[in-house]
Structure 1
Amino acid sequence: MRKKMRIVVEIATAMAMNASPASAAEPQIFTPTSGWAIDYAAKSCVLARTFSRGTEIIGFRFEVVSPDTLGTLTLIGNPFGSISYGSNFQFRVGSDQPSPAQSGWLLIHVPSGGGKAIPGVLIRYAKLGDQDRLSNGASTQTSTLVTFQWDQQTLEAEVGRMDTVLEALTKCTDDLVRKWGYDPAVQHALSQKPRINGNPRDWIRYPETARNVSNQTKLKVRVDIDEAGEPIKCEPLDADEVPDLATSTCTQLLKNAHFHPALDKDGNPVRSYFVVSSVLPWPSH
């Protein structure tokens, strides 16, 4: 079991001993059973928490690889076992409008210590709050609900004050940026982030091994970009299942990719980074 799934497996083990059927006739409201656990992983930041409703327990795991990319939200618990790929699954944070997950989610089963597999959902592109808004001095003082809806069911989790959570997440992602050799304050203040110059479909031809694996395989790499908009370094952040996928992608990005450079608060070109995020199946060439 890979390290990055450790928190999910620990939650699943606890839930296997507290499984009970939930009623579909009314909203299922879950309250926290723990504070947010923060994992400063080598290449990502992870927030995890468990919630309960009676004897039923669900777990959240939210992972981000940079300050300005959407995260991956993993939900595990028996209530999610009624979701199918035909379900109109959507979610919202607080008073935000519901966000249809569409093709951005997968059904998963996480093994537990009790020998049972706990059902769950992996949302590939998720956001728990606005880190930029928090950085500008705004604060979310009230308790926030995260709501999930599918078919005739509604599940609500009382996640609490999001300002505290986002402060911890921002601190962690800022530390990642420092490890990459950048000043987080400069990157937060950019008047323009790096932008793609050209057609990225012309940049990469994926290896045959990538075309033959399941659509659960995902890839994230960070490209460092100089003041002229040219890539100068590429580092894998998350590449599952296919060992040569990230290496091949980085090699081709360094050779073929072009960007409009980032601009600082005064409009001057500065070094920055761009995160490439993809999920199989890949386009064929």
Structure 2
Amino acid sequence: MLHLKGAQRATVGGLMKIVFASLGKGVIACALCLAQFHASLAKEKEPLVLSPSSKWNLNYADDSCKLARFFGTGDDRVAVIISRFESGNSFHLAVAGKPLTHFSADHITMAFGPDGGSLNRGFMAGSLGTFKPALFGSAAHLLKRDDNDETEDDNYNHEEHAAYTLRDLQAPPAADEEAAIQWLEVRQKARATVHIELGSMGQPMAAMRKCTDELMTHWGIDVAAHRQLANLPIPTKSPGKWLTSADYPSDLQARGAQGIIQFRLSVDADGKPTQCHIQQSSRPAGFDRAVCKALMKRAQFEPAHTRDGKAIASYWRSTVKFVAGR
């Protein structure tokens, strides 16, 4: 994940006061008020349980595969979207709807269960069509992982990220474990948990895997061969140096515009980018142009290699976040 921020930034309970007017009956009355207050808090923190109100829908887009489903009804209706831009086990997760109105992108956790994966960093707030607000997370996993994903960390290491991406691509499907996942929870301290009854995720994730494998073949990628690679393209320098604050479009920064851009670079057998393709963008289009212009000018790689040491053409993909200065 590349974080690009405006020049104004360096980088990527309440108080209750009770006044006793008198003793005696006043104290008893106040005690009753406190009991009612704590009872109301307990009631507010009961989970909001949302059942499915539609079937899963899988969208075969030109540059992504998206699983979407609606849960709840009326003002409690939410949308859940799982998006993948390449084969592997990680995905982007979006949950949107009025029940999330008082949740903060800086303090939430999304967890799959029982005993599934969780995500508690890197969220951004926005909207999803008519569903507002929306919370967007990246590098989510349905299942628990043994390794740490550094893509959202300040300690991001591009070599480790390339190795992680290859492990994710080569990891065998865990169909039984995916089938055991039944729900998703959005949690935040002092807020009522939103509990979303997903149903078994076995068949939806199997369909998603088929979609992403087909997607990559449309890029000219031999998915089976890539699952046998020794390494994917590795940046020769930190990708964080490929884009700087100077690349933030000045007109968009002045307006406080922000954006998330999913991109893919085609990388030849010499490690040179040959094409920049925007897979998904929150727009405005000025962000898309800025990303591709900078990447095609500055990105350099060690090429992908087969296990017998032969350099081959491949791809490298990531995300850029444009965050306005405060």
Provide TM-score, normalisation by structure 1. 0.76
User: Any conservation in 2 of the 1:220–1:276 contact (CA below 8 Å)?
Assistant: yes
- Of residues 251, 258, 276, the one that matches 1:209 is 251
Extract structure 1 runs of 4+ deviating beyond 6 A.
none
SS in 1 for 2:77: strand
Measured in 2, the distance between the counterparts of 1:71 and 1:251 equals: 26
Contact 2:116 2:181 survives alignment (8 Å)? no
Deviation at residue 212 of structure 1 after TM alignment = 3.3
1:272 & 1:137 partners in 2: Cα distance?
Answer: 26
Q: Secondary structure at the match of 2:213?
A: helix
- Inter-partner Cα distance in structure 1 for 2:232 and 2:305: 7
Q: Which residue of 2 aligns with 1:231?
A: 273
Distance 1:170 1:70 in 2: 11
Q: Specify which structure has the bigger relative contact order, considering alpha-carbon pairs within 8 angstroms and separated by 6 or more residues.
A: 2
Pair 1:268-2:268 in alignment: no
- Letter of the 2:279 partner, please give it: L
Larger Rg: 2
In the alignment, the residues of structure 2 paired with residue 38 and residue 74 of structure 1 have an alpha-carbon distance, to the nearest angstrom, of 15
Cα deviation for residue 54 of structure 1 reads 9.6
1:122 Cα offset (Å): 2.3
SS of equivalent residue, structure 2 residue 291: helix
| Residue in structure 2 matching 1:139, options 176, 184, 196 | 176
Matched, 1:67 2:84: no
Going from structure 1 to structure 2, the CA distance change for 1:136 and 1:50 (only over 3 Å counts) comes to closer
Q: Where does residue 220 of structure 1 map in the other structure?
A: 262
Q: Say which of 65, 81, 106 aligns to 2:125.
A: 106
Contact 1:134-1:166 at 8 Å conserved across structures: no
Match of 1:151 in 2: 189
Equivalent positions of 1:237-256 (< 5 A) are 237-256=279-298
Identity among equivalent pairs (%): 23
Aligned to 1:26: 46
* Partner in structure 2 of residue 37 of structure 1: 57
**Does 1:190 find its partner at 2:210?**
no
Contact residue 146 and residue 158 of structure 1 kept, 8 A: yes
C-alpha separation between the residues in 2 aligned to 1:69 and 1:220?
A: 17
- Residues 174/212 of structure 1: CA separation in 2 closer, same or farther (3 Å cut): farther
Gaps of at least 5 residues in structure 1 are 1-22, 112-117
Structure 2 CA distance for partners of 1:186 and 1:212, relative to 1, 3 Å: farther
User: How many residues are matched?
Assistant: 253
**Given that residues 51 and 196 in structure 2 are in contact (C-alpha distance below 8 angstroms), is that contact kept between their aligned partners in structure 1?**
yes
Alpha-carbon deviation of 1:224?
0.7
Q: What is the root-mean-square deviation in Å for CA atoms of aligned residues?
A: 3.0
Corresponding residue of 1:17:
none
Instruction: Name which of structure 1's ranges 74-83 and 208-217 shifts more when overlaid on structure 2.
Output: 208-217
CA drift of 1:151 comes to 2.7
User: 5+ unaligned residues in a row in structure 2: which ranges?
Assistant: 1-42, 144-167
Q: Pick closer, same or farther for the CA change 1:35–1:133 going to 2, 3 Å.
A: farther
Greater percentage in strand? 1
SS of 2:226's partner is: helix
Q: Over residues 38-92 of structure 1, what are the superposed CA-to-partner deviations in whole Å (9 max), with x where a residue is unaligned?
A: 111222211111123798432212222222595432222222122246x621111
Letter in 1 for 2:44: A
1:178–1:155 Cα change, 3 Å: same
Instruction: Look up the match of 1:6.
Output: none
Cα-to-partner distance string for 1:141-170 (whole Å, 9 max, x where unaligned): 324221110133212222222221221111
Q: 1:282 to 1:135 in 2, by over 3 A?
A: farther
Q: Note closer, same or farther for the CA distance 1:240–1:179 as it changes in structure 2 (3 Å cut).
A: same
